Amino acid sequence: MEQLDFGKNEKSTKFDQFSKDELIKQNQMLESELAIAIKEVYRLKYKNLTEEQLNLVLQEHLNEMRDSMYGSSSERYKKKPKEKKTIDIPPKPRIKKPSERYPNVPIREVPVTLNPIPDCDVCGKQMSDSGMTEDSEQLNVIQKKYEILLQKRSVYRCSCQSCMKTAPTPPRIVEGSSYSDDMILDLVASKYCDLIPIERYVGMAARNGVKDLPPHSLIDLTHKYAFFIKQVYLRIKNEVLKARVLQADETPHRMLEGSDKKSWYLWGFSTPTLCFLECHDTRSGDVASEVLLNSVCEVLLTDVYSGYDKAIRIANEKRLSLGKKIIINANCNAHARRYFFKPRHKYHEAKFYLEQYHEIYKLNSEAKGKPPDEVRKLREKMRPYFESMKKRAMEELPRYPSINKYRKALNYFLENYEGLTLFINTHDVPIGRVGHWRGDDSIMAFIPFPVSSRQTVHEDFPHTAFIR
């Protein structure tokens, strides 16, 4: 592996010589130039906009830019209490010992003694061990250790000298490989769970005394492992397709090989306990259509992406011809809430919707783990909050221009109101997408094989399936 030249000096620029105040002035100058450019673009696109509307749009752009650069990425929103009450500040919790934090981690005692045994400072006699100890704990890690497994298969013979038998080779992930199953599992977990590139894995092994591991052989092991567990992936996918309620999402993934402008797309289809992903070179709704045509799904929970509308339409046409139940589209409330969350600083009216969603999600938390009847009762209590939001949104909508971000939030909520409230009527439809395939507490099976014969998937873009 080629060593990076960390001693090489980067080219300095004139900004390195600026003071803090000079950098602030430069930033203000750039913002003013950007403001002129934004206003000119909107003036050309929308000739009927007034100067007041142009200033409003400009301020939205600048606020969004500042928020993306300096703002928090969290979407948490705390509802302010109606009345100020004296809050008793609880005492600071005691710092837990490592053994209390991690009760499953084994403890190894390390005695610390004095040699030679000291003498008494008062009488001068040699002291003796009291049997008492003063204890302290530290979390320790044992460095990865490599070893050679030498398998010795016993050979049996008969006294008649006519027959000999050898103990069979234990089943392995890759028969005849120079790498053990534990080595292959460590390699796969490092690459796909910890996102450690193969070259870096080779470098880490070299520091532990195992030099010159062949990277191409290790990459080949990940592919062989993928095909070894392919049937697990297919079984998980088959179970997902049997679900009545299905969640779908897609996200772009940068190409490491090929175009710098195009991306792969990871398509995820999940239930509360299972998920599978497919990697495609397109965001076309045909991907979701193929999945829905092979599923028994009756409710599809998605964001408002037109590709899912196309997929549902194609699937329902075939289902109607076969006399089957059609698929209903439910929409994600997390997306609707996010539209109100982003402009909350500029438009204080958005806080009303955030407070309503605060109460809705509080009821949703209470419903977790409850029987279906109780879930439906708690969800019915959410209906007044949705109705009040709908009424307020319809009143506010005419007050804002079409290109206004707050108006877009109102439009999103009103146009998708039916899909956003569909979950109220049934217990098994989630309030929004839960993003299972991004979870950290999942057992994953990685399958880097192409979806179709026309497509080649790079080894860094596996198909995955996991059980929560």
pLDDT in tens, 284-305: 888 888 899 899 999 999 988 8
| Residue 50 pLDDT exceeds 90 | no
The arithmetic mean of pLDDT across residues 96-107, rounded, is 91
- What is the reported pLDDT for 253? 77
- What is the reported pLDDT for 451? 35
- What is the reported pLDDT for 440? 39
Distance of CA 275 to the CA centre of its chain: 13
- What is the reported pLDDT for 252? 84
Taking the C-alpha atoms of residue 385 and residue 382, their distance in angstroms, rounded to an integer, is 5
Q: Is 212 left (phi over 0), alpha (psi -120 to 50) or beta?
A: left
Taking the C-alpha atoms of residue 39 and residue 230, their distance in angstroms, rounded to an integer, is 55
- What is the reported pLDDT for 111? 92
Q: Which of 40-44, 233-237, 340-344 has the lowest mean pLDDT?
A: 40-44
* Core vs surface per residue 304-316: b (16+ CB within 10 A) or e: beebbeebbebbb
Q: What is the DSSP string of 213-258?
A: --HHHHHHHHHHHHHHTHHHHHHHHHHHHT-SEEEEEEEEEE-SSS
| Residue 151 pLDDT exceeds 60 | yes
Q: Which of 69-78, 131-140, 144-153 has the lowest mean pLDDT?
A: 69-78
The domain locations on the chain are 181-228, 242-331+433-468, 333-427
- What is the reported pLDDT for 31? 77
- CA-to-CA dists, residue 19 to 14, 23, 26, 27, 69, angstroms: 11, 6, 11, 12, 21
- What is the reported pLDDT for 36? 77
- What is the reported pLDDT for 257? 61
Q: Which of 54-68, 145-159, 175-189 has the lowest mean pLDDT?
A: 54-68
> Kind and range of the H or E element at 274?
strand 274-280
**Between residues 296 and 76, which one has the greater pLDDT?**
296
pLDDT in tens, 410-425: 999 999 999 999 999 9
- What is the reported pLDDT for 82? 60
- What is the reported pLDDT for 285? 85
**Between residues 274 and 21, which one has the greater pLDDT?**
274
The arithmetic mean of pLDDT across residues 223-228, rounded, is 92
Q: What is the pTM of this model?
A: 0.67
Helix (H, G, I), strand (E, B) or coil at 278: strand
Query: Is 314 within 8 Å of 284 (Cβ atoms)?
Result: no
The arithmetic mean of pLDDT across residues 334-351, rounded, is 90
- What is the reported pLDDT for 364? 93
Confidence of residue 281 (pLDDT cuts 50, 70, 90): confident
| Residue 441 pLDDT exceeds 60 | no
- What is the reported pLDDT for 344? 86
Please give the angle made by the CA atoms of 141, 143 and 148, to the nearest 5 degrees. Answer: 140
- What is the reported pLDDT for 183? 95
Confidence of residue 72 (pLDDT cuts 50, 70, 90): low
Q: Which residues contact 400 (CB under 8 A, 6 or more apart)?
A: 406, 407, 410
26 — phi, psi (to 5°)? Answer: -60, -40
* Core vs surface per residue 340-369: b (16+ CB within 10 A) or e: bbbbbebbebbbebbebbeebbebbeebee
Taking the C-alpha atoms of residue 458 and residue 445, their distance in angstroms, rounded to an integer, is 17
- What is the reported pLDDT for 438? 45
The arithmetic mean of pLDDT across residues 194-200, rounded, is 92
- DSSP 8-state assignment for residue 189: I
- CA-to-CA dists, residue 392 to 176, 233, 281, 351, 411, angstroms: 69, 47, 42, 12, 12
- What is the reported pLDDT for 326? 92
| Residue 429 pLDDT exceeds 50 | yes
Strands 443-447, 463-467: pairing kind = antiparallel
pLDDT in tens, 121-141: 999 999 999 989 999 999 999
Q: In 3-state terms, the chain is what percent helix, strand and coil (to 5)?
A: 45, 10, 45
Percent of the chain clearing pLDDT 70 (strictly above): 79
| Residue 313 pLDDT exceeds 60 | yes
- What is the reported pLDDT for 255? 66
Sheet with 245-254, edge to edge strand ranges = 328-331, 299-302, 245-254, 263-270, 274-280, 463-467, 443-447
> Kind and range of the H or E element at 98?
helix 98-101
- CA-to-CA dists, residue 294 to 15, 93, 277, angstroms: 58, 53, 15
- What is the reported pLDDT for 346? 86
- What is the reported pLDDT for 73? 61
The arithmetic mean of pLDDT across residues 433-459, rounded, is 41
Query: Is 316 within 8 Å of 310 (Cβ atoms)?
Result: no
| Residue 195 pLDDT exceeds 80 | yes
Taking the C-alpha atoms of residue 372 and residue 89, their distance in angstroms, rounded to an integer, is 38
| Residue 426 pLDDT exceeds 70 | yes
- CATH class held by domain 242-331+433-468: alpha beta
- The chain-wide mean pLDDT, for the chain, equals 82
Confidence of residue 437 (pLDDT cuts 50, 70, 90): very low
